[in-house]
Amino acid sequence: MQKNLDLTSTIKEKIIEIRGLKVIVDRDLSELYGVQTKVLKQAVKRNIERFPSDFMFQMTDQEFENWRSQFVTSNSSIKMGLRYRPFCFTEQGVAMLSSVLSSRTAVMMNIHILRVFTKLKEMLLLQKDILVKLQQIENVVSSHDQDIAELFEAMRQMITKPNPPRERIGFKP
Distances (CA, A) of 104 to 99, 107, 132: 11, 5, 43
Computed over every residue of the chain, the mean pLDDT equals 78
Check if the beta carbon of residue 97 is closer than 8 Å to that of residue 106. Answer: yes
**Is the pTM here over 0.85, yes or no?**
no
* Coil/strand/helix, residue 108: helix
48-69 tens-digit pLDDT: 998 999 999 999 988 888 887 7
Peptide bond into 164 cis (omega under 30): yes
69-115 tens-digit pLDDT: 776 543 444 544 567 889 999 888 888 887 787 677 777 777 777 77
- Is it the case that residue 148 has pLDDT exceeding 60? yes
Sign of CA dihedral 56, 60, 61, 63: negative
